[in-house]
Amino acid sequence: MSEDFFVTHAKAHGPIAPGTFRVVVLEHDDRITIRDFASFDDARAYAYDCASETDHDNAPIAVVIDSKFVRVEKGGHYAGL
**pLDDT per position as a tens digit, 18-65:** 999 999 998 888 889 999 999 999 999 999 998 887 655 666 789 999
Q: What is the pLDDT of residue 58?
A: 64
Q: What is the pLDDT of residue 71?
A: 95
Q: Is residue 38 part of a domain?
A: yes
Q: Which residue has the higher pLDDT, 78 or 26?
A: 26
Q: What is the pLDDT of residue 27?
A: 85
Q: Is residue 27 part of a domain?
A: yes
Q: Is residue 81 part of a domain?
A: no
Q: Is residue 29 part of a domain?
A: yes
Structural domain boundaries, residue 13: 3-76
Q: What is the pLDDT of residue 57?
A: 64
Q: Is residue 21 a contact partner of residue 67, using CB atoms and an 8 Å limit?
A: yes
List the one residue out of 73, 79, 10 whose CA is nearest residue 39: 73
Q: Is residue 54 part of a domain?
A: yes
Is this prediction's pTM over 0.95?
no
The domain tally of the chain equals: 1
Distance CA 61, CA 38 (A): 21
